Chain A
Amino acid sequence: MVERRPLLTVLTHLTLVLGAGFVALPVWIAFVASTHGPSDFLSGLMPMWPGDRLLENYWQVLSRGESTAGAPPIGLMLVNSTIMALGIAAGKITVSLLSAFAIVYFRFPFRLAAFWIIFLTLMLPVEVRILPTYEVAASLGLLNSYAGLIMPLVASATATFLFRQVFLTIPDELTEAARIDGAGPMKFFRDILLPLSRTNIAALFVILFIYGWNQYLWPLLVTTDASYYTAVMGIQRMVAVPDSEPLWHLIMATAILAMLPPVVVILLMQRLFVQGLIEQEK
């Protein structure tokens, strides 16, 4: 703050309180909706204060799901989402660490070509190659499997570039010292590079976990078997019930459960999250 202006300070706080309210309001409403019974939504305006069916509703979606919509219990979808998110995060980090190491620490003939091939992936999000990617996954027998949910999303240009940047800042003296001590490249990678990039890995893990958890289009395409539905895509099946009022209380309980894990991750690891977010875009 440059100077004291009490009026402006009040205005600043007011803006922030209103902003935080705008951000929180939809989630509060959804939470309220998830604590009422189905009959409470018939009366016109939905209630603004939590009802008494919190445990009942959540227990129902977790264990039984909304059977009319053909959706499996949310418990299972949450397990699927966790497997997918962890798989994507761990896979992307492993694959990118290895390729960044190869690109930075070796000189070999097709190095530049490899760099550009990886760069190209930046320009091809799933959304622009929906149908042919689906055909590849189908012909490899990856439909309705965890491998199918995870593998196509594991290649990552941004993560590779991030680790490349990190490795470039590691002083050459360390490499020389390791070589003089007789360490081979993989020992150098394991004992020096990995420990030095620990916080970058953690920060990226937070971002990629959220990225993986929130995938929508790809799971929608590769899963037709309800036992592989993920929480974020499964909700669409509950919303899209034709010709009947949506079961608001169950849909919103599902929505709250589907957003809870990544939100908790952000709240617990805010510092790492912000670092990861900003680093990734450098």
Chain B
Amino acid sequence: MTDKRVSFAGVWLPAALLAPQLAITGVFFLWPASQAIYQSVLRQDAFGLSVKFVGLDNFVRLFEDPNYLAVVRVTVVFSAATAILSMGLALLLAVAADRVLRGSTVYKTLVIWPYAVAPVLAGVLWWLMFNPSIGIIAYLLRGLGVSWNHVLDGEQAMILIIVAAAWKQVSYNFVFFLAGLQSIPRSLLEAGAIDGAGPVKRFFTITLPLLSPTTFFLVVVNLVYAFFDTFGIVHATTNGGPGQATTILVYKVFRDGFIGLNLGSSAAQSVILMIVVIALTVIQFRFIERRVHY
């Protein structure tokens, strides 16, 4: 950790300054997390009368449960599709916005604002667009001979939440891709042009490799977003259905814990999610450290 050469003396003052942050962290983060870990090795009977220690049995059961594995698969498909769709669109728009000379501020504004729309509202907006009886997209798809009903068709429900989740995240990715593009030295692109590389070739051999730190960073951020922040989209539009077709991990923790009251299993699922976040955070920080020493 870097240090200041000049510092103030005293122990009580810094302790008092840190107290609010540490108190909140202790009460609302560390204690609940430790409770989740503790409960994940316990099992309650159906009436909540007795509790017994079961070791890692809750975890073993989860990984033997085809239902849970299906949810893992749904989450992976959903996260990957959301990340690819939103990053792809954002990169396309960022490359375009980086290239235009006139009106780039206006375009930027027009793409950036959905960042402010809550995921749940994005879900509700697309839920209307895809509504089987009155939605415009469902209507257009009917014209193409596709009968759209995400209430009955699991794959279509999945498409609905992917589109809603990706739509909301385009603006975020756009901001970072544009910042990345603007930090690429023009001289490199000009050198490429003089050597006879066209725009497409320049993009794939110069721009894209130089953007790779940004891309990597965004992959991690988008996965975290798809894993956790999209809860509202699922909860408000598909409720995890039909069947379990759109039940993602976070939604299952919520449903098993709050509605199913299966505490041990819900806690074990929480612990698994914690491990996922820790892994993603570690990856992100190792990468950022590398970038600093670049």
Contacts and interface: CB of A to CB of B under 8 A. Distances in A.
Interface of A: 1-3, 5, 8-9, 12-13, 15-16, 19-20, 22-27, 29-30, 33, 41, 44-46, 48, 94-96, 98-99, 101-109, 111-112, 114-115, 117-118, 120-125, 127-137, 140, 151-152, 154-155, 160, 168, 172, 175-176, 179, 185-186, 188, 210, 213-214, 216-217, 220-221, 232-233, 235-236, 239-240, 248, 251-252, 255, 258-259, 262-263, 265-267, 270, 273-274, 277-278, 281-282
Nearest to B217: A281
A114 B22 contact: yes
Contact of A277 (B172, B189, B192): B172
Given A16-B93, A267-B109, A128 B277 contact: yes
B89 interface: yes
A118 B217 CA distance: 22
Interface of B is mostly: helix
A251 B134 CA distance: 14
Nearest to A47: B134
Interface in B138-192: 139, 167, 170-172, 175-176, 179, 186, 189-190, 192
A29 B129 contact: yes
B30 A117 contact: yes
A96 to B, nearest CB: 7
Given A13-B100, A98-B18, A102-B17, A131 B36 contact: yes
A214 B167 contact: no
A17 B134 CA distance: 26
Contact of A124 (B101, B115, B186, B277): B277
A216 B170 contact: no
26 contacts: A2-B202, A15-B93, A16-B110, A20-B111, A26-B126, A30-B124, A99-B17, A104-B4, A105-B4, A106-B9, A108-B15, A112-B1, A114-B22, A117-B22, A123-B277, A124-B32, A128-B270, A128-B273, A131-B258, A133-B32, A136-B32, A210-B116, A255-B125, A263-B113, A266-B115, A274-B175
Contact of A258 (B14, B39, B118, B133): B118
A250 to B, nearest CB: 12
A115 B2 CA distance: 12
A123 B274 CA distance: 7
Nearest to B138: A45
Contacts of A103: 14, 18
Given A106-B8, A270-B109, A2 B18 contact: no
Residue among A123, A179, A274, A281 facing the most chain B CB atoms (10 A cut-off): A123
B18 A258 contact: no
Contacts of B92: 15, 19
Interface of B: 1-11, 13-15, 17-18, 20-22, 24-33, 35-36, 39, 89, 92-93, 96-97, 99-101, 103, 107-122, 124-129, 133-136, 139, 167, 170-172, 175-176, 179, 186, 189-190, 192-193, 199, 202, 217, 221, 228, 231-232, 235-237, 239, 250, 253-254, 257-258, 263, 266-267, 270, 273-274, 277-278, 281, 288
Contacts of B133: 44
A232 B186 contact: no
Contacts of A134: 258
B28 A19 contact: no
Contacts of B5: 172
B23 to A, nearest CB: 9
Contact of A160 (B21, B89, B134): B21
A127 B112 contact: no
A124 B7 contact: no
Contacts of A255: 121, 124-125
Interface of A is mostly: helix
Nearest to A239: B236
A155 B253 contact: no
Residue among A25, A154, A239 facing the most chain B CB atoms (10 A cut-off): A239
A2 to B, nearest CB: 5
B247 to A, nearest CB: 14
The 9 closest A-B pairs by CB, nearest first: A132-B32, A262-B116, A214-B118, A132-B35, A102-B14, A102-B17, A26-B125, A20-B110, A106-B14
Contact of B116 (A94, A106, A266): A266
Contacts of A213: 118
Nearest to B274: A128
A123 B278 contact: yes
A118 to B, nearest CB: 6
Given A108-B10, A172-B4, A232-B120, A131 B139 contact: no
Contacts of A240: 236, 239
A267 B11 contact: no
A25 B126 CA distance: 10
B17 A98 contact: yes
Nearest to B136: A29
Contact of A107 (B7, B97, B236, B281): B7
Given A132-B39, A266-B115, A45 B134 contact: yes
B89 to A, nearest CB: 7
Contact of A136 (B27, B93, B250): B27
A13 to B, nearest CB: 7
A1 B107 contact: no
B58 to A, nearest CB: 14
